[in-house]
Amino acid sequence: MAFALAVECSICAANASVTYQINNGGLEAFNVAIDGTSINGALAGGILINQISSDASMPSSYITLCTDIEGTLYLGQSYEYVTPVTPFSGQTGVNPTWGAINTPAYLSAHTANAANAAQAIQNAAHLFYTYGQLTDTGLGGTTVQKAALQLAVWEALYDTTAGGSVTGSRFTVSGGDAAAIALAGSWLSGLDGSYGLTGYLLFPTQGSSVNADGEPPQELLIGISESPNLPGQPVPESPTVIAGALLLLPFAASTFKILRKKRAEG
């Protein structure tokens, strides 16, 4: 699944980058659509990222999800991400823009509706944190659960309205593991966008030229449990620590779609 590049990044000058290789962390194939464009055989589920640089401040290995349904990742390929990581507050997505109202038709005549996108990322963060069975190395659970989580995150990101409910129709699933589809639907029920979670995104440093299909690399999510620290780092003993689910940059490893046998797409 892919997204359209409409990011209002406040990344500030990137001090450095971290390089991760993309691997299978528990994926299943689904037939989906975004903004009327069908994507058959899109892989949804866990994205295993293994660090091949030497940044001790970032996880060496992590299972995550992607956010960008129209961005792409390729299994076995390596991608650079901005460090320090980017807070998801104020972001709108890499490709396409988050939020039910932020369709291509809307964006052709307007700037991105930031409030819509803010509600969407809150719902996605809540799903990731609540159902991801998170550990220091990322998502846990079965492949079915990981696939369900990716589907639910995608729908939350693209179908959340300004009021926080998931009632849009930009993202749909037409085929695939029925158990995962049903589980994703049950998790989406009752979301309202008002969770106050804080978190980060793994934002790719490269443009579309890095992928043969011309699509930008996906953002990845990295879940941070009950502190502003990244996975694997010590948790400060402070009563003011903010509890929350953190999305690691378009690392969205969050979800990505792997087209056919070798391509990850989220």
Residue 266's SS3 state is coil
pLDDT for the residue numbered 235: 37
pLDDT for the residue numbered 208: 77
Task: Kindly give the confidence (pLDDT) of every residue in the chain, 266 residues in length, as a single tens digit, with 9 standing for 90 and above.
Answer: 332 222 222 233 345 999 999 999 999 999 999 999 999 999 999 999 999 998 998 999 999 999 999 999 999 999 999 988 888 888 999 999 999 999 999 999 999 999 999 999 999 999 998 999 988 899 999 999 999 999 999 999 999 999 999 999 999 999 999 999 999 999 999 999 988 888 889 999 988 778 888 899 999 988 544 444 445 443 333 222 222 333 333 323 333 343 333 445 55
Residue 208 DSSP code: G
Write out the E strands in the chain.
16-34, 37-51, 61-66, 72-74, 78-83, 86-87, 171-175, 200-201, 220-221, 257-258, 263-265
Indicate the pTM of the whole model: 0.81
Q: At what angle do helices 114-131 and 178-188 cross, to 10 degrees?
A: 120
pLDDT for the residue numbered 259: 38
| Burial of 38: CB neighbours in 10 Å, binned 0-12, 13-18, 19+ | exposed
In angstroms, the first-to-last Cα distance of the chain is 4
Distance of CA 215 to the CA centre of its chain: 16
pLDDT for the residue numbered 250: 31
Instruction: Give me the sign of the Cα torsion angle 97, 41, 44, 65.
Output: negative
C-alpha–C-alpha distance, residues 4 and 54, integer Å: 31
Instruction: Say if residues 222 and 253 touch (Cβ distance below 8 Å).
Output: yes
Q: Pseudo-torsion of CA 17, 20, 26, 30, nearest 10°?
A: 70
Please choose, from the candidates 103, 69, 6, 73, the residue with its C-alpha nearest in 3D space to the C-alpha of residue 213. 73
